Structure formats: structure tokens, C-alpha cells
């Protein structure tokens, strides 16, 4: 004969969900009446739930001062944990509700720079045309080492051999050229020559965290491509700054702090707007560096995923 399961003491000893919800509301609004209004119950119900919780814990959670209440040290500790737990429960239930609704949620994975400099200002057009689609964007530089359980519907990446089960669609070859603001160029007319650029304030992209990319382009690579005699001077340069955060480098260039290398697909709109300019016509086309759209083959025939795929591809045609 099978034994009956033992009572779960942890679950049995937990205070009621209703009491915790009343407590969080009272702590948030610092007033029992306002908490009652927020939960659409009576003030007496809030007071009763709080009192039962205090009796259960054998400690006071609030200091009553007229109409307002203040959390005690025990109340503060409980509120920090309870508020986060209730928010997590709410977010989980909302995700489940969305899955059962008519809306579709798609997951797109791309680099942080692509998300900030390319995707962010274009998404309003996608959402306007696709009100039934919600989008979850995940950014990473480590496309080959995604966290377990993360299976994006679409990738935009330079890494073409991600994993089995994805179809590969080439989008474009990467093109790189120097950029700065019109103000910075006016103050530094020497930037019209490669030698003048070499001796200017250079904002450089360093390779940290980018080992999965097939090519790493920095200022030395760019100068070497155009002239074997040009290298960044070790001591004569007025200033040299490097970071693996490409969005930071572009923002510094926009703030008139120097000359950055511009990846065309990420800075073209800034050049078109006149916020950045190209001080020289020279550029570097990376024949081996191709940005791909990778779509989960299980979603290839999904209408919503197909619309996102087609929208992305159309932006690069």
C-alpha cells in the first residue's frame, strides 16, 4: 500500500497570498485606505489581513502615525522580498496569458550595437504594420554560447554556424569607414588626409569579448589596409581611447570627442541625418564578414515569424 505524502511544512507555514498582497499594497502606499482602494476592498479588510500577518510573525510590520504608516525594520525586510516575489508571479502569469492570446511573441537575438544603433529607431515601423506581434530582443556577443533554454526565432549575426536547425540568409557584407561630427571636422581640417587622421584622437574598438567574430577591425587594421606605412603612433598621438562597447564609441564621436570607425549598416542613418560625416572617401569592404539572418527552421512557415523575417530583409535591400 502506497504511503500518503508527508505534509509540506514549508508550504503549510507560509502566510496567505491575500495577506501578502494586502501587506505589499499597504507598504507601497503607506496608507491602509489607499491600499484598500488599489485592491478594491475595504479598509477593514486590509487592517484585518495586516493584523493576522503580524500575529503570525509575532512582530509589528508597521508603525502607525495618524493616517500614514511606516515600515518597521522587520516590515522593510519582508517588503523587499514580498514585492519582488509578487512581481515575478505577475510577470509569469502575464507571459502565460499572452501565449494564449491572439498576439504572437517572437524572440530576436542580435548584438548590442545592432540593437541600439540599427534596430531601436526602426521598430516603430514594424509595430505599426504588425500590431498583433510582440517582440522579445536578446542581445549578446557570444552567439555560440547562449544560455540553456534560449532558442531565438531569428538571429542577426556575423556568426553563420550557430547551431543545427537554423536556415541561413545572407544580408550584406560589412563596410567600414571613419566618421566624426561636422563640428569636429571643422576644428580638425587635417582629418581630410590619412596622415592627419592617424595623428588625431582615435576612438578604437578593442577585441575583448569578440573572439567569435571572423574578423576584428581596429584602426591599425584600417590604416594598414590603405597604407603599409601608416600605424598608430605609440607616443605622439594626442589621445587614444579603446572599448569593446561599440555603442559607446559612436556616442563619443557624436559628442565631438574624436574619430571613430563606422560600420556602414550601423552609422549610415547618422551620416544621412548629417550628425556624422566621413572626412575621407576611403573605406574598407570586408569580403569575408557577412551579416546573416538565421531563422529557426521550425518557424520558417510561421506567418508572424515570416513577417519579421521579410521586414528585416527588406530593410537591407
DSSP class of 2: P
For residue 169 the three cell numbers come to 540568409
What's the average model confidence in pLDDT over 176-195?
A: 93
For residue 32 the three cell numbers come to 491602509
pLDDT at 221: 86
Instruction: State the burial class of residue 147 (Cβ atoms within 10 Å of its Cβ: 0-12, 13-18, 19+).
Output: exposed
Does residue 231 or residue 62 have the better pLDDT? 62
Write down all domains in the chain, each with its CATH number in brackets.
13-99 (1.10.10.10), 101-316 (3.40.190.290)
pLDDT at 151: 81
What's the average model confidence in pLDDT over 204-231?
A: 71
Does residue 143 or residue 220 have the better pLDDT? 220
**pTM of structure:** 0.65
pLDDT at 2: 53
Q: Distance between CA atoms of 205 and 15, rounded to whole angstroms? A: 53
Is 90 exceeded by the pLDDT of residue 266?
yes
Q: Distance between CA atoms of 86 and 84, rounded to whole angstroms? A: 6
Residue with grid cell 505589499, as numbered in its chain: 24
Q: Which residues lie closer than 8 Å to 276 by C-beta, 6 or more apart? A: 179, 180, 181, 253, 254, 262, 267, 270
The pLDDT tens digits of the residues spanning 279-299 come to 999 999 888 788 899 999 988
Dump strand ranges (E) for 116-234: 133-139, 154-157, 166-179, 202-205
Q: Distance between CA atoms of 293 and 301, rounded to whole angstroms? A: 15
Contact assessment for residue 137 and residue 110, using Cβ atoms and an 8 Å cutoff: yes
Is 70 exceeded by the pLDDT of residue 236?
no
What's the average model confidence in pLDDT over 25-36?
A: 89
Average model confidence (pLDDT) across the chain:
84
pLDDT at 271: 96
| Positive/negative CA dihedral, 150, 152, 156, 159 | positive
The pLDDT tens digits of the residues spanning 57-95 come to 899 999 988 778 899 999 899 998 888 888 888 777 776
What's the average model confidence in pLDDT over 248-275?
A: 95
Q: Distance between CA atoms of 147 and 58, rounded to whole angstroms? A: 43
pLDDT at 212: 46
Q: Distance between CA atoms of 278 and 16, rounded to whole angstroms? A: 64
Mean pLDDT is lowest, of 26-40, 102-116, 148-162, 183-197, for 148-162
pLDDT at 234: 52
What's the average model confidence in pLDDT over 98-113?
A: 79
For residue 161 the three cell numbers come to 554556424
Amino acid at each position: 500500500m502506497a504511503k500518503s505524502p508527508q505534509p509540506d511544512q514549508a508550504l503549510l507555514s507560509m502566510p496567505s497570498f491575500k495577506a501578502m498582497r494586502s501587506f505589499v499594497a499597504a507598504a507601497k502606499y503607506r496608507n491602509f485606505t489607499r491600499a484598500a482602494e488599489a485592491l478594491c476592498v475595504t479598509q477593514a479588510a486590509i487592517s484585518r489581513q495586516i493584523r493576522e500577518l503580524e500575529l503570525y510573525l509575532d512582530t509589528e510590520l508597521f508603525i502607525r502615525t495618524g493616517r500614514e504608516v511606516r515600515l518597521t525594520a522587520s516590515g522593510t525586510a519582508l517588503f523587499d522580498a514580498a514585492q519582488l516575489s509578487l512581481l515575478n508571479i505577475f510577470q509569469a502569469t502575464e507571459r502565460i496569458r499572452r501565449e494564449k492570446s491572439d498576439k504572437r511573441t517572437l524572440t530576436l537575438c542580435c548584438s548590442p550595437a545592432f540593437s541600439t544603433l540599427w534596430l531601436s529607431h526602426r521598430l516603430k515601423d514594424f509595430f505599426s504594420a504588425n500590431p498583433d506581434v510582440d517582440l522579445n530582443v536578446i542581445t549578446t556577443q557570444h552567439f555560440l554560447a547562449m544560455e540553456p533554454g534560449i532558442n531565438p526565432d531569428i538571429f542577426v549575426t556575423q556568426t553563420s554556424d550557430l547551431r543545427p536547425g537554423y536556415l541561413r540568409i545572407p544580408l550584406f557584407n560589412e563596410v567600414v569607414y571613419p566618421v566624426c561630427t561636422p563640428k569636429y571636422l571643422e576644428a580638425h581640417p587635417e582629418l581630410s588626409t590619412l596622415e592627419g587622421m592617424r595623428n588625431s584622437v582615435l576612438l578604437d574598438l578593442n577585441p575583448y569579448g569578440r573572439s567569435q567574430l571572423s574578423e576584428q577591425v581596429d584602426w591599425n587594421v584600417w590604416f594598414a589596409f590603405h597604407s603599409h606605412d601608416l600605424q598608430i603612433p605609440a607616443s605622439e598621438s594626442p589621445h587614444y581611447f579603446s572599448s569593446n562597447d561599440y555603442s559607446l564609441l559612436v556616442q563619443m564621436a557624436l559628442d565631438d570627442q574624436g574619430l571613430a570607425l563606422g560600420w556602414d549598416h550601423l552609422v549610415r542613418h547618422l551620416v544621412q541625418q548629417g550628425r556624422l560625416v566621413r572626412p575621407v572617401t576611403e573605406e574598407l569592404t570586408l569580403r569575408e564578414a557577412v551579416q546573416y539572418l538565421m531563422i529557426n527552421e521550425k518557424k520558417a512557415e510561421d506567418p508572424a515569424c515570416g513577417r519579421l523575417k521579410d521586414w528585416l530583409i527588406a530593410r537591407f535591400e
